Amino acid sequence: MKRLLSLIIPLALALCLAACGAEEPREGWSALSIARRAASAGGLEGGFELTYGGELFEDYAGEYYGLDMPKLVSGAIIAAGGSEAGEAAALQFTDESAAAEAAQLLEDYLARRAADFEGYMPEEAELLENAAVVRKGRWCALAALPDSAAGAAAFEECFSIPGGGAAESAAGLPDEAAAAETGWSYDAARILEAWRAGATAGLAAEDLAILAECEHVLSAVAPPGMTDYERELAVHDYIIETAEYDSNRLSLLPFFEENPNNTNPYGALVDGRAVCEGYSSAFQLLMDMIGVECITVRGESNADRDPHAWNMVRLDGEWYCVDVTWDDPIVLGAVSEQAAHRYFNVTSDFMRETKHFWDGESVPEAEGTLYAWRP
């Protein structure tokens, strides 16, 4: 199978780092969050998520990949589906030998898959021919993406400490004993301070995972060079693609448990399950990092006046309202572009018309229209 030279380099780097002992992802990173990171970095938009323990995952990994399922201990697959060949997978095995065996099976899978598209859809066949399989310790990743090299590199990044390379410093690791005693809680100031200083000493595993996701967004999704509006829009779209509303909060049955971090950026960016506080805090954190003036509004919504949170941004001196949560509705099927931006950079009057309530004296009035979303 053809391999671009740029894909050989990440693979060689993976083997080198594995030999140095960097064989497990940073704490707080699950197979699903790693697969999401690789897929996003590699340019896969959307996709179906299959996770370890699910019937579809078992069928896909066992039948198509040909994996020895008893040797698999966790994993996630994100596949474009239909006639699109794009997919990303992060798989954890019982030991390095099983991971090495799986790597060869994934190479074989890619060759078969490319042959299926040959002659019918040459662009998809080329995507598969240029795909990458990367192994690190007992982990293995598949990146068949528009930019497979970037997807493979994103997988690599999940195994290194931000700002510290692959070699983990004892000073940079979270104090597990303290975390077990006091528990973790989100503190935006703590993460912003670490990001601005380029030092992660003393951060908890959850802080590190949030910081890694933010660094990915700021470099690959909303990089410097874009306008403030373009970066704001890219962040908004990334959050609604990455997160989904934690609908378990709406259940009246006690065995539907909420994500414990659904009110902070860990829930939105890492777990992918959040409520309005999680969406708005993730947006706020990223706007603070970009340097766009932003505030979080805590008010109420709907006729029942349920507690709700959203954001406001200031662009070129004008304020705009942004409700990331309501731009990510729970629906069957895909959300239209119009529906996904209905509450992006709107006026305060529009928010009032759509049953948002807040203390008008505590926040500025949003009257800007220049940067409203337009299809």
48-52, 89-93, 205-209, range with the lowest pLDDT: 48-52
pLDDT at 13 over 60: no
In order, the DSSP letters of 176-236 are HHHHHHH-----HHHHHHHHHHT--TT--HHHHHHHHHHHHIIIIIS-BTB-HHHHHHHHH
Evaluated on CA atoms 105, 37, 41, 215, the torsion sign reads negative
Residue whose tokens read 């933010």: 214
Task: Give the pairing type, strands 344-346 and 318-322.
Answer: antiparallel
Task: Pick the more confident residue, 182 or 115.
Answer: 115
Task: Give the pairing type, strands 273-274 and 139-144.
Answer: unpaired
In order, the DSSP letters of 164-180 are TBSSPPGGGS--HHHHH
The Cα 313–Cα 298 span in angstroms is: 14
SS3 content of the chain, % helix, strand, coil (to 5): 45, 20, 40
In this prediction, residue 324 carries a pLDDT of 97
- Per-residue DSSP letter, 161: B
Helix (H, G, I), strand (E, B) or coil at 70: helix
Average pLDDT over residues 76-92: 88
How many CB atoms neighbour CB 149 within 10 A? 20
Query: pTM for this one?
Result: 0.59
pLDDT bucket at 251, cuts 50 / 70 / 90: low
Q: Could you tell me the strand order of the sheet in which 132-136 lies?
A: 48-51, 72-79, 87-93, 139-144, 132-136
Structure tokens at 265: 């950026």
The CATH 3.10.620 domain(s) of the chain lie at: 188-357
CATH 3.30.1330 for domain 188-357: no
Residue of 28, 23, 153 lying closest to 92 (CA atoms): 23
What are the φ and ψ backbone dihedral angles of 287, each rounded to 5 degrees?
-65, -40
The Cα 186–Cα 280 span in angstroms is: 13
In this prediction, residue 3 carries a pLDDT of 32
User: Treating both helix axes as pointing N-terminal to C-terminal, what angle do 122-129 and 96-117 enclose, rounded to 10 degrees?
Assistant: 160
pLDDT at 216 over 70: yes
The Cα 211–Cα 270 span in angstroms is: 10
pLDDT at 92 over 60: yes
